[in-house]
Structure 1
């Protein structure tokens, strides 16, 4: 403790003449009988006189202390800072020193004492040293700190103490002095704990938390016994616990610890007549302490715990940098979707739809691309799901629909001698629910001048098959308007053709998984030596025949070889789409293809 300039204690008013044995003044008697332990110390730091309270505190007769170095008696030379301040007070260069020391009694007990050193009054030589027993105060402070740093339900270290220990472990001096220089964390959350509180009450919930804490403590103790270092178990709040491993030896150690914790919690809990079973999910992080922050470690642990929950609960999951990078990218994309639409970062490419019989270009599918300034050109599978989650799919879908219709009308005006081609635009279910799709389509068709029969809207099979209420009404109104409705990726969902008779659908688009089975010529074996399964063709042919009987046309997706095209044409497929004909291309490339009598397959 450093010296201070606080006001003088009452004992400091005693001058040196008042405490000498030869002066029978009342001051001498006060000094000798005072309950405050005091001693007069000369300029050399030696005790000149000590009162009875001082002797009692140190377990010695006052006379036996005379001539002894005061610094040794009350531990003033223990550290450089205090030693220097004490010398400054003895030399008259500093007004006062006050510090706290732990003093040992002769009987082996110890007390916490506040030591004050101040000059004697009236310029008398030497200083007055006084000692106050503050053990009770220190004990109270320790009890209050314990209460402040520990959870009252589980008696484990709480969030405050956990972060104090974590921050200390991440300081350079903690891991540079030796050890592995690594740190590990198991971040645990109880699965379904809220249901316990809601159904059985908080009293039972608290008992369950206390029982969980006991089992986790036992796991930590056993792990510490095996590895000479006991993990810190803490309750971070609610039903969240943490096991902190300083000087971890690697992911194997943390994985073992997490596994032991899960197994310990799998055993049923007997709580005052209630037999409860629960599981837990754990996020596991292990890394070098250097360069790691408490915030960064906890964020990684929280993310990994979320993965464990999302992957099915009742498990531990190890932090995966690649998975985390994907999550961060996903968050970055999600946060910039709406502004990107306003900044015009999206564009449409178009993939030809070709008649299987005549090879003529009959239509195109509009496919959106995001030209992201950081991640480059992104295909729909990277951002459509995000747009559906945050609702920006409505704004994006409206833009795509308007852009595609204007482009289709432009092709029609630029090539008046050619049969006009239709444009097919994907529509998300949320566009039907969260916007007035019928009004949007009617307005866009009117503004662009495109005839309704030249617009095709594609919805996924699972969305259309369950249509009822507002979605069904919207699809019917669009069909009545003359717009064609297509089911995209048909065959991957319900595949209920009978249900199609009650829907205003005009086109089925066969999912590419069916078409891939047509990749080889008849009797040609695959690279594995296995001939193609003839059942693929039987199934597709049956689907096409049933669709035709319902008055629907069929488009095959992912047509990549002439063998596929030949076999699809033979069984009656109407339209093909895929890399055999063209990849998705910019609008000007479609303009070049409009005058081609028979579509040039192969190169886009």
Structure 2
């Protein structure tokens, strides 16, 4: 409808002008009787407001809505009646409408009736029409809609089983707490989170049914709420308790005062959950594992905070459950490093990021170099040179140990053959390579060894394969057949770290084993000469007995971790064949082994 002053608008058009936001074209100054009749009978609360923002006239509906009479509203400031000046944005928009620079304004306001009740209204301000001074102010009571919306939102934001805030509302509150404005205006600027789940809940849910499980969750929610309320007695507000899903709950502490506060809350929660529950005539017991995070709000995000709490919850479970664990940045950094290494292991093998160092194996009688153990290193582009304990376990978990082990074996055999060619006048040294059990199960180790020996030209007798004691002692079926085939081929089989596993010496007679490598703990257990400590002959007796038995079985013995000449002297006295350790050399590059071999040739062992 275009603005015009030619005659009054029908009552229906007037009503439609307000409801549909069309331009209101009827002027109260034109045909007063018709206008006043329509204005007074309209079910919509309305008022005409002049350019100064004062009420010119109001209808009965507006008077009833505001608990007044139309006559008393005349001359009052319209913006004050309907709270249009409470925020700057609405106020500026209202001023523009009054001056004719904006078509209309629509906003929602909560007005307080004189009887104490609150009313939600939708306020619309629109020009009267072209050439007509002032605006039409209309109010629609939307309290019922708001109440329905509030109920729907409550249902959407709360868990139906426990009646606690759900995951959506939790993240909404968390996001609001981490906004810059929220912690920049006073407060501690810190935030804390207790993230927990129930130990043993799945068993109860599976055996007694979901109905009992739901009642247990509701009972847990009540105890968590009680803990939060008690914690809130000493502070301005209680922590937010939410159910994030399944048997996972969270307690969010805004403006936390430090880790002590979160620790006290976690302790209270543990104690509350551990008390038995009486559910449906049954006494049920569960415990909780809790991950606790407390940090500055600045610089963190909802996702980062919850991830840290989830990681810490996992630590609590891994450490034995029924406990709380505080987030540890160093432990988390190690976990992240482990994940980063695991994700790049296979590509690193293909990129050639691995290298081998070799540690000498020296004859105890003459001190001459007999062989070397090949030790793999990972020259990581980000973390630098990594020793095997940082990545071998990961390689065994994801199966890349097969590919890596094949590369180590081929590289070590090729190097051993090269030393042989470079020192034709010196007895060739053997190379010892560690083999993981998974290499035996997941690949054809016998075929791999045969192919590599053929390609490199290394004699089988110059290759020694080391397996852990537990792996060898438990061998049966395919692993045992593979070990036997390798032994028949002429390859020596050694048991690494002997004495730390089964220590079943009788079993050795039925295995194709040629060498025992005594674990370094036996050598370190020897009393050092010159320390003043009283001698403990039991250490030497045990080692001597193992060496003698090994010799009777036709095996040779290598002592690991030999660090002093006193240790070497005692090992030599009790018949140990070879030694390995820092006394002789740390793991070194291939060129250094060549120098050692050249030194022996020159008469300098």
- Matches for 1:253-332 after TM superposition, within 5 Å: 253-332=261-340
* Matched residue, 1:569: 572
The CA RMSD over aligned residues, in Å, is: 1.9
* Matched residue, 1:409: 417
- Matches for 1:147-546 after TM superposition, within 5 Å: 147-521=155-529, 524=530, 526=531, 530-546=533-549
- Shift of residue 517, structure 1, vs aligned partner: 2.2
Q: Distance in 2 between matches of 1:67 and 1:589?
A: 102
For residue 96 of structure 1, the aligned residue among 91, 95, 104 is 104
- Shift of residue 519, structure 1, vs aligned partner: 4.7
* Matched residue, 1:559: 562
For residue 24 of structure 1, the aligned residue among 33, 45, 55 is 33
The answer to which of 441-450 and 185-194 deviates more is 185-194
Q: Distance in 1 between matches of 2:135 and 2:259?
A: 60
* Matched residue, 1:549: 552
Q: Distance in 1 between matches of 2:235 and 2:52?
A: 52
Q: Distance in 2 between matches of 1:6 and 1:50?
A: 15
Q: Distance in 1 between matches of 2:24 and 2:535?
A: 105
Q: Cα gap change, 1:449/1:6 in structure 2, threshold over 3 Å: closer, same or farther?
A: farther
CA contact (8 A) 1:581 1:599 kept: no
Q: Distance in 2 between matches of 1:373 and 1:163?
A: 38
Q: Cα gap change, 1:10/1:178 in structure 2, threshold over 3 Å: closer, same or farther?
A: closer
**Secondary structure, counterpart of 2:226 in structure 1:** helix
CA contact (8 A) 1:159 1:234 kept: yes
**Secondary structure, counterpart of 1:594 in structure 2:** helix
Q: Cα gap change, 1:548/1:599 in structure 2, threshold over 3 Å: closer, same or farther?
A: farther
Q: Cα gap change, 1:368/1:225 in structure 2, threshold over 3 Å: closer, same or farther?
A: same
CA contact (8 A) 1:16 1:120 kept: no
Q: Deviations over 1:481-530 (max 9, x none)?
A: 11110000000111110111111111100000001122523xx5x3xx53
Q: Distance in 1 between matches of 2:558 and 2:268?
A: 55
- Shift of residue 227, structure 1, vs aligned partner: 2.9
* Matched residue, 1:105: 113
**Secondary structure, counterpart of 1:120 in structure 2:** strand
* Matched residue, 2:90: 82
* Matched residue, 2:3: none
Q: Does 1:583 align with 2:581?
A: no
Q: Deviations over 1:229-255 (max 9, x none)?
A: 311111111211111111111111111
**Secondary structure, counterpart of 2:525 in structure 1:** helix
- Shift of residue 36, structure 1, vs aligned partner: 1.3
CA contact (8 A) 2:192 2:295 kept: yes
- Shift of residue 194, structure 1, vs aligned partner: 2.1
Q: Distance in 1 between matches of 2:106 and 2:603?
A: 97
Give the TM-score, by structure 1 length.
0.94
Q: Cα gap change, 1:599/1:54 in structure 2, threshold over 3 Å: closer, same or farther?
A: farther
Q: Distance in 2 between matches of 1:6 and 1:598?
A: 110
Q: Deviations over 1:11-31 (max 9, x none)?
A: 935421368xxx333x43222
- Shift of residue 373, structure 1, vs aligned partner: 1.8
CA contact (8 A) 1:16 1:125 kept: no
Give the TM-score, by structure 2 length.
0.93
Q: Distance in 2 between matches of 1:6 and 1:559?
A: 96
Q: Distance in 1 between matches of 2:604 and 2:296?
A: 59
* Matched residue, 2:65: 57
Which segments of 5 or more consecutive residues in structure 1 lack a partner in the other structure? Answer: none
**Secondary structure, counterpart of 2:29 in structure 1:** helix
- Shift of residue 126, structure 1, vs aligned partner: 2.4
**Secondary structure, counterpart of 1:518 in structure 2:** coil
**Secondary structure, counterpart of 2:33 in structure 1:** coil
- Shift of residue 44, structure 1, vs aligned partner: 2.5
- Shift of residue 458, structure 1, vs aligned partner: 0.2
Q: Cα gap change, 1:264/1:600 in structure 2, threshold over 3 Å: closer, same or farther?
A: farther
Q: Does 1:15 align with 2:18?
A: no
Q: Deviations over 1:193-219 (max 9, x none)?
A: 222222222222211111111111111
CA contact (8 A) 1:15 1:122 kept: no
- Shift of residue 455, structure 1, vs aligned partner: 0.7
Q: Distance in 1 between matches of 2:484 and 2:463?
A: 15
CA contact (8 A) 1:457 1:486 kept: yes
Q: Distance in 2 between matches of 1:582 and 1:10?
A: 94
CA contact (8 A) 1:354 1:599 kept: no
- Shift of residue 46, structure 1, vs aligned partner: 2.2
Which segments of 5 or more consecutive residues in structure 2 lack a partner in the other structure? Answer: 1-16
* Matched residue, 2:6: none
**Secondary structure, counterpart of 1:12 in structure 2:** coil
Q: Distance in 2 between matches of 1:552 and 1:407?
A: 26
Q: Distance in 2 between matches of 1:221 and 1:104?
A: 31
Q: Distance in 1 between matches of 2:151 and 2:199?
A: 34
Q: Cα gap change, 1:284/1:6 in structure 2, threshold over 3 Å: closer, same or farther?
A: farther
The answer to which of 176-185 and 75-84 deviates more is 75-84
CA contact (8 A) 2:527 2:533 kept: no
Q: Deviations over 1:68-102 (max 9, x none)?
A: 22222222222222222222222222221211111
Q: Distance in 2 between matches of 1:84 and 1:309?
A: 57
